[in-house]
Amino acid sequence: MEVVPVTHGSTNQFATKPARRRRPLQRRSHRFALVAGTVGQIYAGYKGIQLVEKLLGAERVRWMYRRQHAASAQAIYRTAVRLEGLLIKACQFLGTRADLLPHEYIETLSQLHDRVPPRSFDSVLAPLVEKELGKPLREVFADWDPSPLASASLAQVHRARLRDGREVVIKVQYPEIAQLVEADLANLRFLFGVLARLERNLDLRIVLREIQRHVPLELDFQNEARNADRIRQNLSDRTDVLVPRVVWELTTRRVLVLEYLEGIKITHVQELDRAGIDRNAVARLLTDVFCQQILRDGFFHADPHPGNILVQPGPRIVLLDFGLAKALPSGFQIGLAQLAGAILTQNRVAAAEAFRTLGFRTKNDNPETLIALGDAFLGHVARSGKAYADRELVEMIRDNIVQVLRENPLVDVPSDILLVLRVMGLLSGIGKQLHAHIDLLQVMLPHVVGTSP
């Protein structure tokens, strides 16, 4: 859930964006026309630059590509905000894929994590809550705040108090979102398929497949509640991380009620500083919590963008929104732990073997390719002493990967690694905003000890 807090002191007060009147559900053909028009405009812009490039050479048109990237990202952003629904979710996925898109896209599309206009609770969402719970709101809630704590691509969150006095939040799915998702998936399948045929090097269907797998699960709030319970149980022996409890008797597929937890948004660095919270300690804790989930528990929160993570003094991490979580196949996290350990200790032979164990395959099975990939994924960041990969490091890593894969391309990549890489990218982004420096080897090593092949 994309949270938009304005923090004061050590608690989380939330700003309310001005509500605007919602448009009725547009027909699929109208949505298709708007999306197709945006895609066509962007495609034409790039084809024009390619024609100029043939005449002037790549170096002379580099600035034109940067300008086109920025303009294209803005066009996609405007279309997503206008149509909302799955398009915002798709842009949020793209906004985390620095491995696929230039940084101009990442910079623009990542803004959609916390800029989704809210809907009226009393007139639009309250009737759905009453229908789902089978009783009037006043029989369940003593009071509620009509201004949202968070407004996201698929749902909205409001603070409330139960009749027994418990402070909770109500997460309500937008009434027409299931139909919007179905229409937009069909439109994107067609458009991305056309693009893949026109441009062999631009295949966004891998992102669409990722969305198709996970968005239906995010529309089932009972599944999200089970995810929250499982992660809270896995982390129950820790006092430095909190997961809200589910109010199961008030939870349905489209309504989720959780206990209310306070905190400072993790990237509000000035509020963290005013509260006396050490940002480096926050980055270490966050990395440690996700290392445990991925490398030891084999089940992890797969959407740790800044709106889903709060910080309390201590520091203590508060995790929110478990609509996107991932259970790794049996033994897969052991393979990941072996890979991380090999990379961190610079055991090149073990790194290549761990890649093979996970299911990576290259065209000619040269281990040097897998060794170089391992160094690109984690080694450079570990040696930098930072909790993130800055722009220069990302560009160096990307250049290294492109060179390696040009000589010996990957022919098989395990699908389970995609969400892990997404989480790594999101955590790196948070580390950068915190300006944090940590010893990655020191944090990760306890989670990989004893997993050497």
pLDDT tens, the chain, 453 aa long:
433 333 333 333 333 344 344 444 456 788 888 888 988 888 899 889 888 988 888 888 889 989 999 999 999 888 888 887 778 877 877 776 655 677 788 778 877 765 667 889 998 899 999 999 999 999 999 999 999 998 888 899 999 999 999 999 999 999 888 888 888 888 888 887 877 777 666 666 766 777 777 788 888 999 999 999 999 999 999 999 999 999 999 999 999 999 999 999 998 999 999 999 999 999 999 999 999 999 889 999 998 888 899 999 999 999 999 998 999 988 888 888 888 888 777 777 788 888 888 888 777 777 777 777 766 655 555 555 555 444 454 555 555 555 655 666 666 777 777 778 778 777 877 887 888 888 777 888 888 776 554
Structure tokens at 63: 């600035």
Distances (CA, A) of 153 to 113, 385, 423, 425: 9, 35, 19, 21
Residues 336 and 199 in one domain: no
Q: Of how many residues is the chain composed? A: 453
Cα torsion 437, 439, 445, 448: sign? positive
The residue among 211, 234, 261 that closes a domain is: 211
- The encoded tokens of residue 170 equal 């109500």
d(CA 436, CA 453): 32
> What are residue 186's phi and psi, to 5 degrees?
-65, -45
Whether 354 is in a domain gets the answer yes
Question: In this structure, is residue 69 part of a structural domain?
Answer: yes
Q: Identify the three-state secondary structure at position 88.
A: helix
Query: Is residue 73 assigned to a domain?
Result: yes
Angstrom distance (rounded) from CA 126 to CA 122: 5
What pLDDT was estimated at residue 13?
33
Let me know if residue 193 belongs to a domain.
yes
Instruction: Determine, yes or no, domain membership for 188.
Output: yes
Give the residue from 421, 408, 411 showing the smallest Cα distance to 336. Answer: 421
Using alpha carbons only, what angle is made at residue 195 by residues 410 and 109, rounded to the nearest 5 degrees?
A: 85
51 and 192 assigned to the same domain? yes
Place of tokens 């952003």: 77
321 is catalytic: no
User: Which contacts of 197-202 are long-range, i.e. CB under 8 A and separated by 24 or more positions?
Assistant: 198/43
What is the C-alpha separation between 299 and 262, in angstroms, rounded? 25
Amino acid sitting at position 232:
R
Instruction: Report how far residue 264's alpha carbon sits from residue 355's, in angstroms, rounded to the nearest whole number.
Output: 38
Res 8: pLDDT: 32
The catalytic position among 114, 184, 288, 303 is 303
* Residue 383 in domain: yes
Whole-number Å distance between alpha carbons of 124 and 176: 11
Could you tell me if residue 242 is inside a domain? no
Range of the domain at 71: 28-115+179-211
Three-state secondary structure call for residue 266: coil
Q: Examine residue 121 and state whether it is found in any structural domain, yes or no.
A: no
Task: Check if the beta carbon of residue 368 is closer than 8 Å to that of residue 417.
Answer: no
Total domains in the chain come to 2
| pLDDT on residue 408 | 62
21 token code pair: 């009147």
How far apart are the two ends of the chain, measured CA to CA in Å?
Answer: 39
